[in-house]
Chains A and B, each alone.
Chain A
Amino acid sequence: MDCRVINKRRHTGLQQLSSFAETGRTFLGPVKSSKFIIDEECHESVLISSAVRLLESLDLTSAVGQLLSEAIQAQNKTYRTGTSTLLFLVGAWSSAAEECLHLGVPISLIVSVMSEGLNSCIEEVESLQVPVHSVYDHIDSTETFSGLSVSLDPSLHIPSGTGLVQKEHDLKDVASQSLAFCRLSGRPVKSPQLFRLQARFEADENTSQTPQTLKNNLLADTCCRKSVLTHSRHFSRTDRHQWISKPGELLEQLSAAAPKTYRCSDLAELEVGLSHGDPSSMRLVAEAVRLQHQNAGMRRGGHTVLFPFDISRIFTCCLPGLPDSLSCVCPGYITVLSMSSATLIKELQNQPVRVVLVEGDLTENYRHLGFNKPTNIKTVSESVKVQQDSSEELWTDHVLQVLIKFNVNLVLARGNVSEGLAEKCTDSKRLVIGSVPESVLQAFAEASGAVQVAYITHMNENCVGSGVSVTTWRSVTSDTVDGISRMTVVLKTEGINLVTVVLTSPVTAQMQTKEDRFWTCASRLYYALKEQKVFPGGGAVELLCLTHLQSLAGQSVNKGNQDCSGWLHNTSSWLASSAALYRPTVLKSLADGWHRYLSTLLRNTAVYSSDSEAATSIQCHLQNAADSGSPSSYILNEYSKLNSVILNSGISDKLEPIPRVYDVVTPKIEAWRRALDLVLLVLQTDSEIITGLAHTQKSSQESEGFLFL
């Protein structure tokens, strides 16, 4: 295929970009193939499945590589999602820009027309946005994430068996009030939907919810029932399926050019749509949202109108070596301790504990940041007394006295904890936990009334929090790393705004990936809820961009002139007047980038086995969209047909009906902008300047192509 003559016009920076981006091609779309990266020197290997981790593991010492890495990191830091899209589009558009160079388009025009084109696309796709409204109205129904896809399909074969019924009973036994809220939802208790929900847990999730964890969750839930009841009047389940079940009406709406009537008002539906082929992570996110919602309801006495989903109050606890099915979500803070504190925890169980939060290390020589310890001070004793205790011991005793004085049984420290102190505390039935994340301390400070202190010896009664409960979560018998047996404990207080997501994986190498995937799902849901809008996913947005660019390229008159990037729109340069000549070429190249994106998406989801098949399908849709007169209506219409292949390639599970796929708005658009910005930045660069004295060491051969000043 690629047998173009290497031309002098080729831009090495752009070539580097496209070759870097090529490595991340398989990460696009819901079906991600993992990669092993092997270090040939020390034979270490990492398993990765995201663009961020890929770039972390690659050797990107070149300037362009660093800019790419910077762009990906910035996207990841701000949005935690969209990096694979960013990486792919960088590749696609750098090839596009290179193609334009090859065709002799002036650089300034490529820059201006491309950013104009993308900007126009971004404005165009606004019409596809699906508003997200009052999703929390249905949150209190027991139907969790996986429920929707089941309820949508009447023909799903439910695996029958007594186990399911048993489970149902289990549920009722544990929380007898569950009957109450099931009735509130307007359905009989043993409605097929609830039944299927259980079926899903049993059949599809590989018994991920063992009776025990389910029980735990329900126990935790029982205290929140009240808030459930206050929302019962919102339980109108009719509007939810409105635009799914009435295609005729939908078409009418479309022809009336009112696509805004599409809305997503069901949290479960949103979660399915945003899971992007990772239902297990999204299930955890969904549970975390529900827990937070219940907590919020409790804290504000049932008024949860303005409940924001707060991902900063979600904490992940990774337990490698345990089977996947043990992953779960619990309120409070879960952490791993050594078995030696088992007896202590048993004693602390069953009673509310007073807590102190330490914002730094808990050691004798810890000083707050910005304190300079003088090194030239010596202590001398004036009289010869009995051997004095060391200052460390004195300090330990002092701390213990303070803890005893304020009757504190739990100390959470942000930093390290002195071993001697920890031992002495254990002896006097006090639990000290170090390396606690800041958000956790914050949550405990809010919920228990404690104030974080820097020095435990300076604290007073006001700093002590109360009402913390300490319980064993489960003992992790053998750790795969060092074989030491450990245990996990749950710390929580009433109404604490903190949710721990326990992630387990039998393969230690997969832990990182699992954690990343969880956070990606969480961020997607976070942005969807925060912005109250989503895009239809599965390529719908990109297809519209492609259609739009093609129609723009066809227009001879430069109508979107004022959207031009930077300076060209009000410049008097000849470029402005000759832009019309090159515009179709540049826009076509930009559109080719979208085309590559779509066909890779289709290939990756295994809908099509070859590029040509994918291309045919895209071409067909493009033609139809163009013929329909209103591409956005056509795409929304296609999108609403659940069995449409191109637009709903999101979920590969063929047994199920394909639920709607959604995507986040701002992170996606920002990823596009970042990708194009990077390409254009590199395109406009004509030389590298190496600062410092590094160049003096270059041999004469190396320095070829260098200029010295």
Chain B
Amino acid sequence: MSRLEAKKPSICRREPLTGERAGARLAALRGLLTSCYGPAGRLKQLHNGRGGPVAATSHSAALLAGLPVSHPVLKVLTAAVRNHVACFSDGGLFTAILCCNLVENVQRLGLTPTTVIRLNKHLLSLCTRYLKSEVCACRIPVDFGSTQILLSLVRSILTSKPACMLIAKEIDHISTLILKAFLLTIPENAQEHIILGKSIIVPLKGQRVIDSAVLPGILIEVSEVQLMKILPIKKSDSFKVAVFCVSLSGDLSDTGEGTLLVSYGVSLENAALDQLFNLGKQLVSDHVDLVLCQKVIHPSLKQFLRTHQIIAVDRIGVSLMEPLSKVTGTQPIGSLGSISPSSYGTVKDLCIAKFGCKHFFHLIPNKATVCSLLLCNRNDTAWDELKLTCQTALHALQLTVKEPYVLLGGGCTETHLVAYIRHKTRNEPESVLRDERCSQTELQLITEAFCSALESLAGSLEHDGGEVLTDGKYGHFWSVQANLPSAVNWPDLPSRCGCGLYSSQEELSWSFLRSARHPFRPQTCLSHEAKGSANTLTLDCFTAKLSGLQVAVETASLILDLSCVIEDTN
């Protein structure tokens, strides 16, 4: 007997941000993410507490995917950040921490949300306009004629994730591989619209990182048994390929509901197999050299094909289908009926490769922009982190092709931006006050909240109790030891700024990051000599960081604007 129960009324909570609980949880989330930020960031062990796999990570994608968040405000925040990561891969922690900082800072002020949102928006546009302008001194145009900047960018991304457990030599090796893999995805004769190819990451766990490699074309893992049946491959200039996305296993697809009555002596299985053999005969008469199937090929069909010198490889998996059709220049065949001759593709060469303990079938295309990055690391945990990081780096390179700039990393962009905003709002507030209809005090308060959010973000790069300084000329980030003895001439201590662009030889007036200082006009326009020394720079992806900044400010505005949460308790 079914029982009907009256629905419970929904719960409506006003001002979700003001409660102590929300504040504590937001602070907890911020603390968690802040501790992961940067190359010296701490790791988190993610596990389900019941003996499931353990992941040690500091990657925002892995963290946020596993983080059990229950408070609605945090849900909004994490969802926004995850969206950002899904689109840009890089800058997840940056976005999340900045957003937390902004919410916390602004909330303390007690201003009306509308004013806050309007002014935040204004400050954001100030930042983006500056970052996109030619005078911006914290971005470097990318010279595609040399690998220096791109390599620095990749290396900065790799070093920012300590859970990859790489030593310097390995970082160099992997950076080169990533860049190589990226370059292989660029078509040779580029027209107006470049369509980038794909780098497929092939796992090879348990091996040394230094054994990783990049190969053009596609690697398909095959078992040793299958391998013995493939050998030997005849020599030829090109191979005719048939790619199937439909299962050739000979099972009866979709018998529908109800019962099927079959008279005695009739075997549906044999009928299905006969159909497969007919297909096989067509493949033979069409002189196909290689049959690839996403799913399973019936062993008897395989045997048939083999006797006719056709190589058959099955269980390729759905993820390889798109690059396969790109490489062979054909659409996968989706039916068992007759095949039109146009559905066959070609590859230039085939070979068998062995890496570690795995065997691979290597398809070398004529000219396609697909390559395989064979990625090794010692154990699963480190491999997973390395894979995520490599994907981020590859994505960052793609974004850099679109917008050929990189931002200075190591906290320098943030501190420089802060100096710029402070200077701007102090010296030219008139237009703002007129446009945004707010008082001078309000503008000062919000600017301070915004700037200190960026400053504490930069400050979270420090995890070992050091101090952070900024200089009075460029507005860059300088890291020094805490509690310096006063006898030491401390401005001489930091050797280089966070991004590595400037050294401390010049007369720079340092001050502590979060201390009050007189606003100054940071030097704009990057000098050419600075661009030259790019080989040791710490760099960030321009597009990802810019978007992260926007997402952070907009999400913070959204959260601050929440006036009540309605929860369906049924």
A and B interact: yes
Task: Spell out A's residues near B (CB within 8 Å).
Answer: 61, 63-64, 66-67, 70-71, 74, 77-78, 106-109, 111, 115-116, 119, 359, 367-374, 376-382, 388, 438, 441-442, 445-446, 451-455, 458, 462-463, 562-567, 569-578, 666, 670, 673-674, 677, 680-682, 684-695, 707-709
Collect the chain A residues with CB atoms within 8 Å of residue B347's CB: none
Q: Are the C-beta atoms of A376 and B481 separated by less than 8 Å?
A: no
Q: Which of A77, A382, A569, A707 contacts B168 (CB 8 A)?
A: A569
Collect the chain A residues with CB atoms within 8 Å of residue B465's CB: 106
Bound-state CA distance A118–B224 (Å) is 36
Collect the chain B residues with CB atoms within 8 Å of residue A689's CB: 32, 44-47, 63, 66-68
Q: Are the C-beta atoms of A573 and B40 separated by less than 8 Å?
A: yes
Collect the chain B residues with CB atoms within 8 Å of residue A670's CB: 208, 378
Collect the chain A residues with CB atoms within 8 Å of residue B404's CB: none
Q: Are the C-beta atoms of B229 and A694 separated by less than 8 Å?
A: no
Bound-state CA distance A116–B69 (Å) is 39
Q: Are the C-beta atoms of A685 and B45 separated by less than 8 Å?
A: yes
Q: Are the C-beta atoms of A368 and B51 separated by less than 8 Å?
A: no
Q: Are the C-beta atoms of B536 and A570 separated by less than 8 Å?
A: yes
Q: How far is the CB of A457 from chain B (nearest CB, A)?
A: 9
Q: Are the C-beta atoms of B261 and A575 separated by less than 8 Å?
A: no
Interface size on B (CB < 8 Å)? Answer: 98
Collect the chain B residues with CB atoms within 8 Å of residue A77's CB: 206
Q: When each residue 499-536 of chain B gets 1 if its CB lies under 8 Å from chain A and 0 otherwise, what string results?
A: 11000000000000000000000000000000000001
Q: Which of A462, A570, A574, A690 contacts B494 (CB 8 A)?
A: A574
Bound-state CA distance A25–B511 (Å) is 53
Q: Are the C-beta atoms of B264 and A388 separated by less than 8 Å?
A: yes
Q: How far is the CB of B426 from chain A (nearest CB, A)?
A: 29
Q: When each residue 39-52 of chain B gets 1 if its CB lies under 8 Å from chain A and 0 otherwise, what string results?
A: 11011111111110
Q: Are the C-beta atoms of B263 and A381 separated by less than 8 Å?
A: yes
Among B63, B162, B228, B493: residue with most chain A CB under 10 A? B162
Collect the chain A residues with CB atoms within 8 Å of residue B410's CB: 571-572
Query: Within 8 Å of chain A (Cβ to Cβ): is B300?
Result: yes
Closest CB pairs A-B (n = 6) = A370-B296, A454-B299, A106-B464, A572-B496, A567-B159, A567-B39
Collect the chain A residues with CB atoms within 8 Å of residue B165's CB: 677, 680-681
Chain B facing A: main interface SS: loop
Q: Are the C-beta atoms of B208 and A119 separated by less than 8 Å?
A: no
Bound-state CA distance A692–B65 (Å) is 11
Among B25, B67, B255, B378: residue with most chain A CB under 10 A? B378
Residue of A nearest to B252 (CB): A374
Query: Within 8 Å of chain A (Cβ to Cβ): is B260?
Result: yes
Q: Are the C-beta atoms of B42 and A686 separated by less than 8 Å?
A: yes
Q: How far is the CB of B474 from chain A (nearest CB, A)?
A: 13
Q: What would be 12 A-B contacts, judged by CB atoms less than 8 Å apart? A: A111-B162, A370-B295, A371-B249, A377-B260, A453-B299, A567-B40, A572-B497, A577-B494, A577-B495, A681-B43, A681-B163, A682-B56
Residue of B nearest to A69 (CB): B54
Query: Within 8 Å of chain A (Cβ to Cβ): is B498?
Result: yes
Q: How far is the CB of B501 from chain A (nearest CB, A)?
A: 10
Q: When each residue 453-482 of chain B gets 1 if its CB lies under 8 Å from chain A and 0 otherwise, what string results?
A: 000000000111111000000000011110
Q: Are the C-beta atoms of A565 and B44 separated by less than 8 Å?
A: no
Q: Are the C-beta atoms of A381 and B264 separated by less than 8 Å?
A: yes
Among B44, B53, B206, B493: residue with most chain A CB under 10 A? B206
Q: Are the C-beta atoms of A572 and B258 separated by less than 8 Å?
A: no
Q: How far is the CB of B312 from chain A (nearest CB, A)?
A: 13
Q: When each residue 295-323 of chain B gets 1 if its CB lies under 8 Å from chain A and 0 otherwise, what string results?
A: 11011100100010000001100000000
Query: Within 8 Å of chain A (Cβ to Cβ): is B132?
Result: no
Residue of B nearest to A573 (CB): B479
Residue of B nearest to A695 (CB): B68
Collect the chain B residues with CB atoms within 8 Å of residue A692's CB: 48-50, 68
Residue of B nearest to A575 (CB): B464
Q: A109-B464, A376-B255, A687-B45 are in contact. Are A571 and B378 (CB under 8 A)?
A: no
Query: Within 8 Å of chain A (Cβ to Cβ): is B143?
Result: no
Q: How far is the CB of A12 from chain B (nearest CB, A)?
A: 12
Collect the chain B residues with CB atoms within 8 Å of residue A106's CB: 464-465
Q: Which of A61, A74, A693 contacts B379 (CB 8 A)?
A: A74
Collect the chain A residues with CB atoms within 8 Å of residue B69's CB: 709
Q: Which of A442, A454, A674, A682 contacts B378 (CB 8 A)?
A: A674
Bound-state CA distance A572–B159 (Å) is 13
Collect the chain A residues with CB atoms within 8 Å of residue B307's CB: 462
Q: Are the C-beta atoms of A574 and B466 separated by less than 8 Å?
A: yes
Q: A63-B54, A453-B303 are in contact. Are A694 and B70 (CB under 8 A)?
A: no
Q: Are the C-beta atoms of A438 and B225 separated by less than 8 Å?
A: yes
In the complex, the number of residue pairs spanning A and B with C-beta atoms less than 8 Å apart equals 266
Among A67, A70, A106, A694: residue with most chain B CB under 10 A? A67
Bound-state CA distance A292–B258 (Å) is 59
Bound-state CA distance A565–B378 (Å) is 16
Bound-state CA distance A242–B538 (Å) is 55
Q: Are the C-beta atoms of B464 and A378 separated by less than 8 Å?
A: no
Q: Are the C-beta atoms of A368 and B479 separated by less than 8 Å?
A: no
Q: Which of B166, B268, B300, B478 contacts A454 (CB 8 A)?
A: B300
Beyond the given A388-B264, A576-B495, A709-B74, please list 13 additional residue pairs across the A-B interface where CB-CB is below 8 A: A63-B54, A78-B206, A107-B42, A111-B162, A370-B247, A370-B251, A374-B255, A376-B255, A376-B258, A666-B208, A677-B165, A690-B49, A692-B48
Q: Are the C-beta atoms of B299 and A451 separated by less than 8 Å?
A: no
Q: Are the C-beta atoms of A566 and B255 separated by less than 8 Å?
A: no
Q: How far is the CB of A89 from chain B (nearest CB, A)?
A: 14
Q: How far is the CB of B294 from chain A (nearest CB, A)?
A: 11
Q: Which of A367, A388, A572 contacts B495 (CB 8 A)?
A: A572
Collect the chain A residues with CB atoms within 8 Å of residue B285's CB: none
Bound-state CA distance A685–B47 (Å) is 13
Collect the chain B residues with CB atoms within 8 Å of residue A376's CB: 255, 257-260
Collect the chain A residues with CB atoms within 8 Å of residue B496's CB: 572
Collect the chain B residues with CB atoms within 8 Å of residue A111's CB: 162
Q: A438-B225, A681-B381 are in contact. Are A368 and B249 (CB under 8 A)?
A: yes
Q: Are the C-beta atoms of B381 and A442 separated by less than 8 Å?
A: no
Bound-state CA distance A382–B11 (Å) is 67
Q: A67-B56, A572-B496 are in contact. Are A565 and B168 (CB under 8 A)?
A: yes
Collect the chain A residues with CB atoms within 8 Å of residue B481's CB: 574, 577-578
Q: A377-B268, A677-B378, A691-B66 are in contact. Are A371 and B250 (CB under 8 A)?
A: yes
Residue of B nearest to A677 (CB): B165
Q: Are the C-beta atoms of A107 and B50 separated by less than 8 Å?
A: no
Q: Are the C-beta atoms of B381 and A690 separated by less than 8 Å?
A: no
Collect the chain A residues with CB atoms within 8 Å of residue B160's CB: 567
Q: Are the C-beta atoms of B54 and A74 separated by less than 8 Å?
A: no
Q: How far is the CB of B466 from chain A (nearest CB, A)?
A: 5
Bound-state CA distance A693–B46 (Å) is 13
Bound-state CA distance A202–B315 (Å) is 55
Q: Are the C-beta atoms of B46 and A691 separated by less than 8 Å?
A: yes
Q: Are the C-beta atoms of A565 and B167 separated by less than 8 Å?
A: yes
Collect the chain A residues with CB atoms within 8 Å of residue B479's CB: 572-575
Q: A677-B378, A691-B48 are in contact. Are A574 and B480 (CB under 8 A)?
A: yes
Collect the chain B residues with CB atoms within 8 Å of residue A674's CB: 378-379
Residue of A nearest to B68 (CB): A691
Q: Which of A115, A377, A452, A688 contacts B259 (CB 8 A)?
A: A377
Bound-state CA distance A442–B223 (Å) is 12
Query: Which residues of B56-102 have CB atoms within 8 Å of chain A's CB atoms?
Result: 56, 63, 66-71, 74
Q: Are the C-beta atoms of A63 and B251 separated by less than 8 Å?
A: no
Bound-state CA distance A684–B44 (Å) is 8
Q: How far is the CB of A658 from chain B (nearest CB, A)?
A: 33
Query: Within 8 Å of chain A (Cβ to Cβ): is B207?
Result: yes
Q: Are the C-beta atoms of B379 and A71 separated by less than 8 Å?
A: yes
Q: Which of B32, B48, B206 contacts A690 (CB 8 A)?
A: B48
